Each structure stands twice: as structure tokens, then as C-alpha cells.
Amino acid sequence: MVLIRAIIRVEKTGDVLTELLNAGFPAVTQISVSGRGKQKGLQVGNIYYEKIPKEMLLIVVDEEDKDDVIKIIMRVARMGEKGQFGDGRIFVSRVDEGYTISNQSRDF
């Protein structure tokens, strides 16, 4: 199993969640976050925004589904054909164990 952490634009969250659900990946944790990337914030006129609001999606999937989920997120979360600074990042980590709290069983 792998944990996919996708940090994406707030306005793209609904579309990404819909596409993941339609593709058979309904289990997602959504967290509101803020931060900055390589662009070091955003300046609009005289106003400088050091931290930009984003959404972080956490998705645990089987290793064989990893590429499908990443492709969906990258396709849907990108602004325009070529993308833009601030579209987000995706991180993948291995998950060794998982447990369901309600029935106290090990999932994998």
C-alpha cells in the first residue's frame, strides 16, 4: 500500500474528488493547509501573501493503483494545458500497516 499526499489548489479540490470517486477511489481525507512553494509566496499589487491556502488530499491505495490515482490528480488539478506555478505537489510514501479502529482489525 502507498499513501499519496496531494497538495492542490482549493478551487480544483471538488473536481479532483469527483474524478477519484468516478474512477473507484472514494476513500480520501481532505485537510485545509497553507504554505508556499518555489515561488516563495504571491504578490498582487502592493500586497504580499507569504502563505497560500491549499487543500491536501490523503489517499491510501494498493501499489498497482498508484499510477492511476497520480494521473487523475495531475490531469484534473493542473491549471490550463501546460499548468502553472502553484498547481501543487504530489508525494508518495509506503504504508506498512493499517488498522480499522471500529473492529480493531489489521487491514493489511
Q: What is the pLDDT of residues 33-64, one digit of tens each?
A: 998 877 777 778 888 888 889 999 999 999 99
List pLDDT tens digits, range 53-95: 999 999 999 999 999 999 999 999 999 888 888 899 999 999 9
Task: Name the CA dihedral angle for 16, 20, 26, 28, rounded to a multiple of 10 degrees.
Answer: -50
- What size, in residues, is the chain? 108
Question: Between β-strands 52-61 and 29-35, what pairing exists: parallel, antiparallel or unpaired?
Answer: antiparallel
Q: Give the E-state strand segments of 1-108 in sequence order.
A: 2-9, 29-35, 42-44, 47-49, 52-61, 88-94, 99-100, 105-106
Q: What is the pTM of this model?
A: 0.90
**Nearest of 14, 16, 15 to residue 6 by alpha carbon:** 16
More confident residue, 30 or 39: 30
Residue 61 β-bridge partners: 2
